[in-house]
Amino acid sequence: MGKTYIIGFPRIGEKRELKFALEDFWSGKISFDEFDMVAKKLKQKHWNYQKNANIEHISSNDFSFYDNMLDTTFMLGAIPDRFKHLNSKEQYFSMARGDKDSPAMEMTKWFNTNYHYIVPELSENIEFKLDATKIINEYNEAKEIGVKTKVNIIGLLTYLGLSKCDNSNYYDLVDKLLPIYEELLKLLSKLDDDIIVQFDEPILVCGANDILLANLKKVYDRLGMVSPKVKIAVVTYFEHINDSITTLCDTPIWAIGLDFVHGKDNLQALDIIEKSGKYLIAGVVNGRNIWKNNIDDSLELLGIIGKTIKKDKILVSTSCSLLHSPYTTANEIKMDTEIKNWLSFAIEKLDEVALIAKIFFDGFDSLNYDGLKYYNKTKDILIKKSASSLLNDIYIKNRIASLDKFQRDGKYEDRIILQRKALKYDNLATTTIGSFPQTPELRAKRLQFKKGEISKSVYEDYIKSYIDECIKIQEDIGLDVLVHGEPERNDMVEFFAERLDGYGFSSNGWVQSYGSRCVKPPFIYGDVSRKDTLGYEWIVYAQSKTKKLVKGMLSGPVTMINWSFVREDVSKSQIATQIALALSDEVDDLQKHGIKIIQVDEAAFKEGYPLRFEKRAGYEKWAVDSFKLSVSSSLKETQIHTHMCYSEFNDIIKTIEAMDADVISIETARSGNRLLKVFKEVGYKQEVGPGIYDIHSPRVPSVEEMKNQIIALLEVLPRKQLWINPDCGLKTRKYDEVIPSLKNMVQAVKEIRGH
């Protein structure tokens, strides 16, 4: 029995080969068969990487053309009616991306990661039907090159738990899906003398109730009995599963996968696992961060586990699928070598798992020359790292230690009077969320600048001309509060990260976000401070071009942290404090240069919530405190806005209120004012800008439609509390959609105001 286990491997390719092949296929540049050939080669390459790294438990079916949840939907035959008329290849990509006749299926984030899955649409009426073609083919493809894989499948409870269902109790669907899963296992049992099937059940980390536990027992009792040739591993990750471990151990499965990196409390479950005699897949190498593993720490952790669980029942693993990790540090030729030495991406993590397992099971003496060299080198790097001057900024540390102002002055009730007097905006003031379209020309200019093809001054002149135009457009439309349009930024994090000390960047650290889309998050390795301005000059420039108010834009600490890889040697709360201080200096600069409205976006505030309920309060404390610290330098007269890209505030409304922003803009366009009622119910005092049209669609909403939307809003909140804006930034839209939409929005407000 092998001792090394990888939950799953990334599939987009070291050079994003899958992305480019997908896009070529979609645009008709290559045929499906050509595309499939690229996919096949990638799979082989990934199996070989793992095999050569001495990984014994390698997955098949962790590959996907688009998304594994979508693959599961296919496997179950849960095709929504609107795609039924298409053939299966067309169906697959239309379900993911939509087509001219049907909107795509919804997409949302996979637990607390930045990977998005396609949300299944289920109903009582679906006739589920097994299609195991992909799974079987992939198993055989690996076998052909001499790799006997375990088969990864999304567990039934996780699949259901993440689905949208028109039936109120989706657990009723367990009885419908279970026979399909059983049939699948029967088929898989015929593929080989024995076979391991990994069911991913991360839903268990969100906490269990009686219904979930009853279903957990039922599902794995039945699946465990399908065939003696099938061994079932139920793997979980991102948190602990203490409340479901007893039930899981009481089913005839072979192994349980636990994350000991993000779910240290899993250590409390070891006794139960030991008694059940099950194998333990021990996730000790972090699968979703980029830092070199501290081998001694992992060995110590395994030592603790080994005190309860017999060594021959332990498999050494990554904490979760390496899907969330970039490929390899080998291609980071431009990176500072000291920092590069601290990193470990997916391919390097394979070696870590193998080395840790070797030492744990066979002792240091068993290491060959290379193994020992690797161990010693890693140890040396980490010792040097802990003493590195790059991690510490004494100035920032002292500044934080002597902080005496943690929030701005004045109560909201008093501030808003001063602000309305100074800013003189009308009720139902119109504005936008910040960005204007990132045109192909703008993107091309940025690329040219990054490559050194145009000079800084040529680039900056171009940005200025964009801002000039953007201001003029907004004045012509007649918006009340203008923005500079964010042309200098490619996204909400990188632009700021580049201007902060303590942040690092990779050239190839791509991670799949959804389908062919990848992100390359920056990483925080050291104390963060503002080395340069955060770009307030652009906003001040925009203000110089108009008599109207220009709102300045910044990204908040939670968003900066959530969309970056973060260091693990200090708490997130400390990192957030450092970012907040940098932001508060920028707020101060904006204000000194005449900017009177400043928006600090916290797009990631809600997704930053911990998966386990008991950890929420701790998160809320630092998330709110760091927001307040970011704007602590603002004068009472300066109006602070924030923006959040969602609308489900029911359970967090008091926390949102505690952030103490004067105005919050949110996304309600797609959910109507049903979700807004909570603001009224709790007596929310601050001003609110509920997005009145959906920017995610190219459609131009009519004046009438937006008037109706505003009338509906007025039933919930009084006129003096309302702002009118789209529901998110406009950067992904085209000007010829944005201009008419905003004109209609302003016209709708005019008609409602009656002037």
Residues that bind Zn ion (CB under 5 A): 645, 728
Q: Is 434 in the site for ligand GLN (CB under 6 A)?
A: yes
Query: What does DSSP assign to residue 82?
Result: G
For residues 524 and 574, the answer to whether their CB atoms sit within 8 Å is no
Judge whether 69 and 159 are in contact, CB under 8 Å: yes
Would you mind telling me the total number of residues written for the chain in this entry?
755
281's tokens: 């897949």
User: CA-to-CA distance for 640 and 661, rounded, in angstroms?
Assistant: 5
- Please, what is the minimum distance in Å from the beta carbon of residue 607 to Zn ion? 12
Nearer Cβ to ligand GLN, position 434 or 689?
434
Looking at beta carbons only, is 120 or 487 nearer to ligand GLN? 487
Computed on alpha carbons and rounded to an integer, the radius of gyration of the chain in Å comes to: 27
Residue 191, contacted partner among Zn ion, ligand GLN, none, CB below 5-8 A by kind: none
| Contact pick of 560, 603, 722, 748 for ligand GLN (by CB under 6 A) | 603
Q: Would you say 290 or 695 has its CB closer to ligand GLN?
A: 695
What is the β-pairing status of strands 597-601 and 639-644? parallel
Residue closest to ligand GLN (Cβ):
729
CB of 564 to Zn ion, least distance (A): 18
Minimum distance between the CB of residue 492 and ligand GLN, rounded to whole angstroms? 5
Q: Which of 70, 205, 261, 433 binds ligand GLN (CB under 6 A)?
A: 433
Name which of 550 and 728 has its Cβ closer to Zn ion: 728
Binding range to ligand GLN, per CB under 6 A, among 37-45, 108-116, 257-265, 433-441 = 433-441
Distance CA 524, CA 521 (A): 10
Shortest distance in whole angstroms from residue 647 CB to Zn ion: 11
CB neighbourhood size of 641 (10 A): 27
Q: Six-digit token pair at 114? A: 């930045």
Interactions with ligand GLN, residue window 583-602 (CB under 6 A) = 601
Contact yes or no for 208/244 (Cβ under 8 A)? yes
The CB-of-489 to Zn ion minimum distance in angstroms stands at: 14
Q: How far apart are CA 509 and CA 494, in angstroms?
A: 13
597 or 728: CB nearest ligand GLN: 728
Give the DSSP H/E element, type plus range, for residue 713. helix 703-716
Answer whether 558's CB lies under 8 Å from 575's CB. Answer: no
Burial of 2 by CB count in 10 Å (0-12 exposed, 13-18 middle, 19+ buried)?
A: middle
Q: Using an 8 Å Cβ cutoff, are 237 and 257 in contact?
A: yes
Output the smallest distance, CB 667 to ligand GLN, in A.
8
Least Cβ distance, residue 541 to ligand GLN (angstroms): 17
Q: How far is the CB of 731 from ligand GLN (least distance, A)?
A: 5
Q: What angle do CA 522, 524, 526 make, to 5 degrees?
A: 145
Residue 133 burial (CB count, 10 A):
11
Q: Active-site residue 696, yes or no?
A: yes
Residue 492: contacted member of ligand GLN, Zn ion, none (CB under 5 to 8 Å, by partner type): ligand GLN
- In one-letter notation, the amino acid at residue 637 is E
Q: Is residue 232 a contact residue for ligand GLN (CB under 6 A)?
A: no
Q: How far apart are CA 121 and CA 83, in angstroms?
A: 12
With beta carbons less than 8 A apart as the criterion, state whether 59 and 346 touch.
Answer: no
HSE, CB side, 13 Å, CA atoms: give it for residue 361.
Answer: 17
Helix/strand/coil for 634: coil
Build a one-symbol-per-residue string for 471-500: x at contacts with ligand GLN by CB under 6 A, - elsewhere.
---------------x-----x--------
CA distance 374 to 351: 9
Q: Least distance (Å) from ligand GLN to the CB of residue 641? A: 10
CB of 732 to ligand GLN, least distance (A): 9
Residues between 619 and 638 with contacts to ligand GLN, criterion CB under 6 A: none
- Rounded to 5 degrees, what are φ and ψ at 600? -110, 105
Interface residue with ligand GLN, options 435, 578, 647, 673 (CB under 6 A): 435
The window from 251-259, 354-362, 427-435, 543-551 that contacts ligand GLN (CB under 6 A) reads: 427-435
| Residue 131 CB, nearest approach to ligand GLN (Å) | 37
Catalytic residue among 324, 641, 696, 755: 696
Q: Select 188 or 666, whichever has its Cβ closest to ligand GLN.
A: 666
**Which of residues 121 and 486 has its CB atom nearest to ligand GLN in the complex?**
486
Q: Does 323 bind ligand GLN (CB under 6 A)?
A: no
CB 396 within 8 A of CB 574: no
CA-based torsion, 725, 729, 732, 735: positive or negative: positive
Q: Which partner in ligand GLN, Zn ion, none is near 61 (CB below 5 to 8 A by kind)?
A: none
- Smallest distance, Å, CB 18 to ligand GLN? 26
DSSP secondary-structure letter at 30? S
> Residue 351's binding partner, choosing from ligand GLN, Zn ion, none, with beta-carbon cut-off 5 to 8 A by kind?
none
Q: DSSP assignment, residue 57?
A: B
Each residue 540-559 as x (binds ligand GLN by CB under 6 A) or -, in order, gives -------------x------
CB of 436 to ligand GLN, least distance (A): 8
598 vs 481: CA distance, rounded Å: 11
238 phi-psi bin (left φ>0, alpha ψ -120 to 50, beta other): left
Q: Are 298 and 331 in contact (CB under 8 A)?
A: no
Q: Which does 701 bind (CB under 5 to 8 A by kind): ligand GLN, Zn ion, none?
A: none
In this complex, which beta carbon is closest to Zn ion, that of residue 18 or of residue 656? 656
Q: Which is nearer to Zn ion, 525 or 649 (CB)?
A: 649
Based on CB atoms, which residue is closest to ligand GLN, 339 or 483? 483
| Residue 205 and residue 612 in contact, taking contact as beta carbons nearer than 8 Å | yes
Q: Which is nearer to ligand GLN, 628 or 731 (CB)?
A: 731
Adjacent-strand bridge partners of 281: 257, 315
x-or-dash string of contact with ligand GLN, 715-754, rule CB under 6 A: -------------xx-x-----------------------
Residue 644: what are its φ and ψ, rounded to 5°? -135, 135
Which one of Zn ion, ligand GLN, none interacts with residue 429, CB within 5 to 8 A by kind?
A: none
Residue 601 interacts with which of ligand GLN, Zn ion, none, CB < 5 to 8 Å by class: ligand GLN
Q: 57 or 731: whose CB is closer to ligand GLN?
A: 731
Return the structure tokens found at 188: 């898989």
- 553 touches which of Zn ion, ligand GLN, none (CB within 5 to 8 A by kind)? ligand GLN
**Which region among 48-56, 431-439, 528-536, 705-713 touches ligand GLN (by CB under 6 A)?**
431-439
CA 547 vs. chain centroid, Å, equals: 39
Span 643-682, contacts to ligand GLN by CB under 6 A: 643, 645
Q: Stretches 109-117, 249-257, 428-436, 579-587: which one binds ligand GLN (CB under 6 A)?
A: 428-436
Closer of 141 and 667 to Zn ion (Cβ): 667
259 contact, one of Zn ion, ligand GLN, none, CB 5-8 Å limit per kind: none
Where helices occur in 27-170 by DSSP H, the ranges are: 32-52, 68-76, 88-97, 133-144, 156-161
Nearest to 63 by CA among 118, 157, 137: 137
Size of the site for ligand GLN (CB under 6 A): 13
Residue partners of 275: CB distance under 8 A and separation at least 6: 249
Q: Which does 434 bind (CB under 5 to 8 A by kind): ligand GLN, Zn ion, none?
A: ligand GLN
**What are the residue numbers of the active site?**
696
Residues at the site binding ligand GLN, with contacts judged by CB under 6 A: 433-435, 486, 492, 553, 601, 603, 643, 645, 728-729, 731
